[in-house]
Amino acid sequence: MTQALLHFEDFPVGEIAHYGAYRLTREAILDFAREYDPQPFHLDDAAAKQTLLGGLAASGWHACAIMMRLNCDGFLLNATSMGAPGIDEVKWLQPLRPGTELSVRRTTLEARTSRSRPGMGLVKFLFELLADSQNVVMTQTCSVMFGRRLAA
């Protein structure tokens, strides 16, 4: 059964959704860090213990990339998404450890139609990356552009 394509109108302000299950392995942490963020606290256990992170933890950009994937699978690939103009804010709140299962809690903060593009609307979300469905390890706010149902 395919779900109907999500449009701007399908994200009521105040709605909360929870989705995704991504098991973060040590190997994935090291692979990402080697390519994009080779700081010692993302690559080496002993070095990481001496730092503020207190042990090996994923790059914050790895957390962002994983959240993007969870958002794609969770709703964006089944929506009229036209991408995002940017990110309002990212907060890395806790170290992201190997073995954690990650999911996303999405809260719809605002929704407004575009003046310059009547067929489009912007929805502002708070995305929280949850470790083992409990601890919030990262928050992110951003606005995503969607096609409007009325315009289709």
Of 54 and 99, the one with the shorter C-beta distance to a copy of itself is: 54
CA distance 30 to 44: 9
Question: Closest separation between CB of residue 64 and a copy of itself, Å?
Answer: 6
Q: Is 37 in the site for a copy of itself (CB under 8 A)?
A: yes
Q: Note whether 105 and 16 are within 8 A (CB).
A: yes
Burial 64-86 (b: 16+ CB within 10 A, else e): bebbeebbeebbbeebbbeebee
CA distance 1 to 87: 33
Q: Note whether 125 and 141 are within 8 A (CB).
A: yes
Of 82 and 151, the one with the shorter C-beta distance to a copy of itself is: 82
Q: Tell me the window of 9-17, 47-55, 104-112, 129-137 that interacts with a copy of itself (CB under 8 A).
A: 47-55
Q: Is 27 in the site for a copy of itself (CB under 8 A)?
A: no
Closest CA to 141 of 84, 80, 92, 89: 89
Q: Tell me the window of 2-10, 33-41, 97-105, 126-134 that interacts with a copy of itself (CB under 8 A).
A: 33-41
Beta-bridge mates of residue 112: 122
Binding residues for a copy of itself restricted to 49-108, rule: CB under 8 A: 51-53, 59-61, 64-66, 68-69, 72, 76-77, 81-92
Q: Which residues bind a copy of itself (CB under 8 A)?
A: 32, 35-39, 41, 51-53, 59-61, 64-66, 68-69, 72, 76-77, 81-92, 145
